[in-house]
Chain A
Amino acid sequence: DTEVTQTPKHLVMGMTNKKSLKCEQHMGHRAMYWYKQKAKKPPELMFVYSYEKLSINESVPSRFSPECPNSSHLFLHLHTLQPEDSALYLCASSQEGQYGYTFGSGTRLTVV
């Protein structure tokens, strides 16, 4: 299995809703990442998990809450989002060290 699977592919949520994005990989990668990408911009790092521990939080607002229950799964819990949070949310994984990341297909989030 050489894929990173993200669900759902599309999500529309109101500003008062609570939702979660899910990411899954079975490549034995021990580092997992959440990125946010706005149109015509490069991916922007949000969180890094290394061996299931949060190692990097790029000053992301607390309305975004990551969770890594095991080495294969990663979640991004969303609550009280703003319309400007609408974006493509990408999950990625990699082996530890200086390796490239494998990205999932992303969740297209629209906040209304």
Chain B
Amino acid sequence: QKEVEQNSGPLSVPEGAIASLNCTYSDRGSQSFFWYRQYSGKSPELIMSIYSNGDKEDGRFTAQLNKASQYVSLLIRDSQPSDSATYLCAVNGVAAGNKLTFGGGTRVLVKP
């Protein structure tokens, strides 16, 4: 089992719809969870961080964390073509020596 798992996609979403991305992790001691957006050929950009159970909203993005079920999700509301990118889930866990472990990424395509 991989430490951080994501569906590789592509996740195809019509413009204006909600994109829903999921991530599961194996280290129960994980305490910090992050979503990065990466455009093709560019570096990852931190878009959301979440540390406690529940929802965290920032603009059109909502991160959801459920530590009991060991999953974290990202919702993108009113999806725009500029949201087309690969979204990387990253987890910072004690078992990993407090270093970030990345999932394989989910490619999102927003179609006009």
Task: Say whether B42 contacts A100, CB under 8 Å.
Answer: no
Interface of A is mostly: loop
Task: Report the tally of A-B residue pairs with Cβ distances under 8 A.
Answer: 48
Sorting the interface of chain A by its residue count into under 10, 10 to 19, 20 to 34 or 35 or more gives 20 to 34
- Given A42-B103, A43-B102, A56-B97, also A99-B45 (CB < 8 A): no
Whether B92 sits at the interface, judged by CB under 8 Å, is yes
Interface size of B by CB at 8 A reads 23
Out of A43, A45, A56, name the residue touching B44 (CB < 8 Å): A43
Residues on the A chain within 8 Å of B97, using CB: 56
Residues on the B chain within 8 Å of A88, using CB: 41, 43
B-binding segment of A11-19, A60-68, A77-85, A102-110: A102-110
Whether B53 sits at the interface, judged by CB under 8 Å, is no
Q: Looking at the assembled complex, report how far the CB atom of A31 sits from the nearest CB atom of chain B, in whole angstroms.
A: 9
